[in-house]
């Protein structure tokens, strides 16, 4: 199909991710209008056929579908404020990170100006935009998702609609993303430990990947325990993890590592044991996390 028959799309915000989104739309033949606060970032996309709008109002007016990719919701609303009148009747899709409250506030602002609103999250890096297995999920106006799903699938083949609530993508973004930093810090600590023995970080990657696969395999069982609130038949107990925590100090001393980041995790385990979860499944930590400041 030629570009003339494809849905025109506007992309506002041309950082690493926004540029990748605009490029994917261009590659798929969508007439693409772009805007960025720092105009120079539009140049590579203009070279590929994008139209560079001088203002956000002109950018919004150019397409029925407007995709934004600024850093935060507040920046998105600030950048679109001069374009508010042009939003009426258009579909606005925000693809930045942020809190569920930020998504709700942005939805209310956009709907107040007559836009149809969908919020989404790209669950991958810019280089993966457009790949068949790249995951994006969305929450908000179902009509927008239905109408523009073929366009949005250009950004990633694994495109999922979560439901009518505009904050669902932000909620899942934060809920799923919670594993990222602990997992990465754990990997970096391991890299430091093997380097302390003159081995390379690369030598452990294959084993770490297997470890992540094991973690993948046990998540459904933990989710079932948590959803049933049934922790009494543990494959791995809180006490087992507490015993393992003893070895952290040994490794820290032997490899001369800063492992202070483990301290809050050990504290969480102790509070779970104090609350009577010692012989329960490790997933019972969820109950402690549900009760900030008091025993579960």
The binding track of 2-21 with respect to ligand NAP, each residue x by CB under 6 A or -, is -----------xxxxxx---
> Least CB distance from residue 45 to ligand NAP, whole Å?
12
CB closer to ligand NAP out of 79 and 169: 79
CB of 92 to ligand NAP, least distance (A): 15
Asked whether position 79 contacts ligand NAP by CB under 6 A, the answer is yes
Query: In the numeric block, which tokens belong to residue 178?
Result: 């919670």
* Whole-angstrom distance, CA of residue 184 vs CA of residue 234: 26
287: tokens are 């109950």
Residue count (the chain): 296
Cβ-based nearer residue to ligand NAP, 119 or 287: 119
| 64 belongs to the binding site for ligand NAP (CB under 6 A) | no
Residue 125 within binding range of ligand NAP, rule CB under 6 A? yes
- Cβ closer to ligand NAP: 21 or 288? 21
Q: How far is the CB of 121 from ligand NAP (least distance, A)?
A: 7
Q: How far is CA 165 from the centre of its chain?
A: 17
Residues 226-245 that bind ligand NAP (CB under 6 A): none
Rounded-to-integer distance, Cα 253 and Cα 247, Å: 10
97 touching ligand NAP, by CB under 6 A: yes
Smallest distance from ligand NAP to CB 119, Å = 11
* 6, 8, 29, 37: which one binds ligand NAP (CB under 6 A): 37
In the structure encoding, which two tokens stand for residue 238, read together?
Answer: 């809180």
Instruction: With CA atoms as reference, report the closest residue to 169 among 119, 134, 207.
Output: 119
Own/partner pairs, 31-39, CB within 8 angstroms, 24+ separation = 31/3, 31/4, 31/6, 31/63, 32/8, 33/8, 33/9, 33/58, 33/59, 33/62, 33/63, 34/10, 34/59, 35/10, 35/11, 35/59, 36/12, 37/79
Helix axes 202-228, 180-195, angle to 10 degrees: 150
Q: Under the criterion CB under 6 A, does residue 111 sit at the interface with ligand NAP?
A: no
From 51, 70, 103, 170, residue interacting with ligand NAP (rule: CB under 6 A): 70
Site residues for ligand NAP per CB under 6 A: 13-18, 36-38, 41, 69-71, 75, 78-79, 96-97, 122, 125-126
């Amino acid at each position: 199909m030629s570009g003339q028959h494809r849905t025109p799309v506007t992309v506002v915000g041309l950082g690493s991710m926004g540029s990748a989104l605009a490029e994917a739309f261009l590659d798929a033949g969508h007439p693409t209008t772009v805007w960025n606060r720092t105009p120079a970032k539009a140049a590579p996309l203009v070279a590929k056929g994008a139209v560079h709008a001088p203002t956000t109002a002109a950018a919004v007016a150019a397409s029925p579908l407007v995709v934004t990719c600024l850093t935060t919701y507040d920046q998105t609303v600030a950048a679109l404020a001069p374009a508010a009148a042009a939003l009426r009747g258009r579909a606005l899709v925000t693809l930045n990170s942020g809190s569920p409250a930020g998504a709700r506030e942005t939805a209310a602002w956009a709907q107040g100006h007559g836009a149809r609103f969908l919020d989404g999250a790209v669950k991958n890096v810019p280089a993966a935009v457009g790949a068949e297995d790249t995951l994006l999920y969305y929450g908000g106006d179902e009509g927008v998702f239905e109408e523009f799903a073929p366009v949005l699938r250009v950004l990633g083949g694994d495109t999922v609609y979560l439901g009518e609530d505009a904050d669902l993508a932000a909620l899942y973004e934060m809920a799923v993303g919670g594993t990222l930093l602990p997992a990465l810090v754990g990997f970096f600590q391991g890299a430091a430990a093997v380097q302390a023995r003159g081995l390379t970080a690369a030598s452990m990657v294959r084993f770490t990947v297997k470890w992540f696969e094991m973690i993948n395999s046990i998540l459904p069982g933990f989710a079932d325990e948590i959803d049933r609130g049934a922790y009494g038949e543990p494959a791995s107990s809180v006490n087992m993890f507490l015993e393992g925590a003893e070895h952290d100090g040994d490794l820290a001393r032997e490899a001369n590592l800063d492992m202070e980041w483990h301290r809050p995790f050990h504290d969480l385990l102790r509070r779970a044991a104090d609350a009577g979860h010692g012989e329960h499944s490790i997933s019972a930590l969820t109950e402690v996390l549900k009760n900030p400041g008091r025993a579960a």
